[in-house]
Amino acid sequence: MKPLDVLGVRVEMPTSQPIVLLRERDGGRHVPIWIGAAEATAIAYAQEGVVPPRPLTHDLLVDVIAAVGRELVTVRIDAVLEGVFHATLVLDDDTEISARTSDGVALALRTGAEIVATDEVLDEVGIESSDDEEDEVAKFKEFLDEVSPEDFEAPDQDPPAS
């Protein structure tokens, strides 16, 4: 298992599809994961330390885990099957819960749990970074400093024609 850090969320153009970008902590590989807008917002909120007036779904799950006397210790990215990432939430009593990777990332950011990936996942989807890619990562980090969670909300639809 290799530990990963969350670099942040960005919107891929021209599709406007959000991506969370993870980086191997002690290596040079990056893992881009296409996610939904709700998960992108949840991850961005957690990174920015936004505390909503009422708990959002990921905040609620953190509260439920604590209420039953448990703690999330690890989010393990186990596999990529037919292009879909599969993760496992590991609690402090070794309970394992299947989860979407994007949800696991959102929970890990809220709890301080470590995110890890198997060597097989990193070998399959990890992208080695070069100096040019490191420049791209620096640009990405700059983008993250300027983006807000509201940027991931769906635009208002035009009113129907009369």
| pLDDT tens per residue, range 35-44 | 999 999 999 9
For residues 134-157, average pLDDT: 62
User: Given this model, what pLDDT does residue 135 score?
Assistant: 64
Does residue 147 sit in helix, strand or coil?
coil
Q: Supply the Cα-derived Rg of the chain in whole angstroms.
A: 17
User: The domain 2-149: what is its CATH number?
Assistant: 3.10.690.10
Mean pLDDT lowest among 48-62, 116-130, 134-148: 134-148
Stated as kind and residue range, the H or E segment containing 33 is: strand 29-34
pLDDT single digits (tens) 48-86: 999 888 989 999 999 999 999 999 999 999 999 999 999
Question: Pick from 134, 90, 113: which is nearest to 5 by CA?
Answer: 113
Please state, in angstroms and as integers, the Cα–Cα distance from residue 89 to each residue in 77, 108, 121, 148, following that order: 9, 9, 16, 27
User: Given this model, what pLDDT does residue 130 score?
Assistant: 65
| pTM, entire model | 0.78
Flag whether pLDDT at 113 surpasses 60: yes
Six-digit token string for 75: 């989010």
Where does residue 11 fall: left (phi above 0), alpha (psi -120 to 50 degrees), or beta otherwise?
A: beta
Does residue 46 sit in helix, strand or coil?
helix
Six-digit token string for 153: 């909300």
Flag whether pLDDT at 147 surpasses 90: no
pLDDT single digits (tens) 5-32: 999 998 888 888 899 999 999 888 999 9
Flag whether pLDDT at 144 surpasses 90: no
Q: Which amino acid is at 123?
A: D
Please give the Cα distance from 101 to 107 (Å, whole number). 10
User: Given this model, what pLDDT does residue 162 score?
Assistant: 45
Flag whether pLDDT at 157 surpasses 70: no
Please give the Cα distance from 158 to 162 (Å, whole number). 12
Flag whether pLDDT at 158 surpasses 60: no
